[in-house]
A = this chain, B = another copy of it.
Amino acid sequence: MQAIERFADFLSRNRLKMTRERRVILDQVLGTRGHFDVDQLLAGFRRAGHPVSRATLYRNLPRLIEAGIIHKLEMAHGQARYELMVGRHHHDHLICTDCGLILEFESHDVERIQDEVCRRRGFVMTGHTHQIRGHCAACAGRRRRRRG
């Protein structure tokens, strides 16, 4: 896997150690699809018989982000989610506030407009968050039926 080398590389470049816990975390992350949270990872560690403490997980998530392996999604009410980014490119999210479904979207035009907005203000962008909240097709349908 490319992610493992990438992480090993990142660690050695920063004089950090490849510990059992870091391997376990990386494995779990690579084996989890979609937009997952800390509790899902912790449950995964237990299921796999390789427990890792909450503190250690929290200490290492930023490292995985710096290494470009995962991306953090800061959602409302402090519910953070993460997603694998190796081999993927940037995208933004549609979040259903009824069922929690997270869809992805991508728009070159929006990215271009953002760059232009920044350029005009002399603002140096280091990142952005673009989330659309609402009701997914299924939930919207359910609501329509209920309300008439």
Chain A residues packing against B (C-beta within 8 Å): 74, 76, 78, 94, 96-97, 103, 105, 107, 109-110, 113-114, 117-118, 121-137, 140
Chain B, Cβ-Cβ closest to A97:
B126
- Inter-chain CA distance A45–B111, complex, in Å, is 41
Per a CB cutoff under 8 Å, which of B76, B117, B121, B126 touches A137? Answer: B121
Copies in the complex: 2
- Inter-chain CA distance A59–B98, complex, in Å, is 23
Is B105 a contact of A117 with CB atoms below 8 Å? yes
Per a CB cutoff under 8 Å, which of B97, B107, B123, B127 touches A103? Answer: B123
Q: Which residues of B contact A127 (CB under 8 A)?
A: 132-134
Q: Which residues of B contact A103 (CB under 8 A)?
A: 121, 123
Within the complex, the shortest CB–CB distance from A32 to chain B, in Å, comes to 23
A78-B78, A107-B113, A132-B117 as given contacts; A140 in contact with B122, CB under 8 Å = yes
- Inter-chain CA distance A107–B105, complex, in Å, is 18
Chain B, Cβ-Cβ closest to A72:
B76
A107-B113, A110-B110, A110-B113 as given contacts; A126 in contact with B121, CB under 8 Å = no
Per a CB cutoff under 8 Å, which of B78, B105, B123 touches A132? Answer: B123
